[in-house]
Amino acid sequence: MSSFPIYSALPQRRRRPRPQPTIVSVPVPVPSVPALPKNNGNGKTVQKRKNGNTNNNNKIKNIKNKVSFSIVSYFNFVCNTLSNIWVLSFYIAAIVLIYNYTSDPDASFITKFVTKIVTAFKGLEPYKCTILWFILAYTPFAPVLFAVRDNRRVVCALALYAYIIIIPERTVFEYLAQSLVLVLIVKSKDKNFRLTSIILFVGIYLCQFALPTGSVVNSHDCVGHLFTHSEHTNHASKSAHIVSHSPSSTAHRAVPSPHTKTTTAKSTTVG
C-alpha cells in the first residue's frame, strides 16, 4: 500500500476567477452658491434674476419674434397670394374685359352681353344702363368674391355694392387697383400684414391714380352703346318726326316773319 491518497492522482478542476466589482463614478451634487450682487456704477446693486424670470424673458422674446414685421416677408406674401393660379386667371380676365371696353365700347364683350340680355328679356330694357354699369363696376372685384369664404360671400357682395354706390371712382382701373389690395386683406392671416394692406388701400384711394384712360364709370353714354346701328337710326328718325309734328314747330311755321308781312302789303298797294 502506498502512502499517497487516491484522489491525488485524479485531475483537479481549475477554479474560475470571480468577477471583480465595477466601480461606477457618481457625480456629487455641488451646492449652488448665490452670486454676489453687482454694482452698476450708480451706487446701486443689481442682483441676478431667478430661473422663473428667465422663462418669462424667453416667452417675451418669442412674442417679439412673432410680432416683428419684415418688408421682405410681406413682399413674399404678396407674391405668393397674387401668383395663385385662380386669382391670377380672374385678374387677367378682368383686365382683358376692362381694356376691351375702354378701347372700343360699342364692340366690347360687355356691351354685346348686355345687349343680348336686353333683347332676350324685354322687361329689362329700362334697366340696360344700370346692368351695364354694374357689370363694369363688379368686373374688377370678381377675384375678391372668389377669394372670400363661402359663408361670407353674400356679405362681401353687399359690402362691395355699398362701396361702389357710396364711393364712385373716375376710372375702372382704380377699382382694379383697390381690388388687388382687398384680396391681400382677405387672404392675410397675420395682423401686421392685414394692417399694412389696409393702410395701402387707404393710400391708393387718396392718391387717385392718374391713369391716361378716360373710361368714366358713372357718366358713360350707355344708351348709344346698347343700340345697333339700325335701331339707333330708327330711334333718331322717330325723335325727329316727333319734333317736326310738335305744336311748337307748327306754330312757328304758321306765324310769318314781320319782314314778309310788310313786303306783301307794299306789293298790294303798288298793284
Which residue is it, cell 329700362?
A: 126
Q: Can you give the length of the chain in residues?
A: 271
Burial, 95: exposed, middle or buried (Cβ in 10 Å; 0-12, 13-18, 19+)? middle
**pLDDT tens, per residue, the chain with 271 residues:** 555 555 555 566 666 777 777 776 767 777 676 666 565 555 555 455 545 455 666 665 555 555 556 788 888 888 888 888 888 888 888 888 888 888 888 888 888 888 888 888 888 888 888 888 888 888 888 888 888 888 888 888 888 888 888 877 667 778 888 888 889 888 888 888 888 888 888 888 777 655 444 444 443 456 544 444 334 444 444 434 433 444 444 333 333 343 444 444 334 333 3
Crossing angle of helices 191-207 and 172-187, in 10° steps, is 170
C-alpha separations of 2 from 10, 54, 169, 189 in Å: 16, 90, 135, 107
Q: Three cell numbers at 15?
A: 477554479
Closest CA to 170 of 178, 162, 160: 178
d(CA 50, CA 54): 7
Closest CA to 172 of 147, 140, 143: 140
Q: How far is CA 64 from the centre of its chain?
A: 28
For every residue of 225-255, DSSP letters joined together read HSS-HHHHHHHHHHHHHHHHTSHHHHHHHHS
The residues, any chain, with a CB within 8 Å of residue 101's CB and separated by 6 or more, are 108, 109, 110, 111, 136, 172, 215
Are 132 and 215 in contact by the 8 Å Cβ rule? The answer is no
pLDDT at 87: 84
d(CA 188, CA 195): 9
pLDDT at 37: 59
One-letter amino acid for residue 171 of the chain: T
d(CA 72, CA 74): 5
pLDDT at 19: 72
Closest CA to 130 of 117, 146, 120: 117
216 phi, psi to nearest 5 deg:
-80, 135
Are 223 and 142 in contact by the 8 Å Cβ rule? The answer is no
Instruction: List 39's β-bridge partners, or say none.
Output: 45
Q: What is the pTM of this model?
A: 0.51
d(CA 37, CA 32): 15
Crossing angle of helices 172-187 and 128-138, in 10° steps, is 50
Are 137 and 164 in contact by the 8 Å Cβ rule? The answer is yes
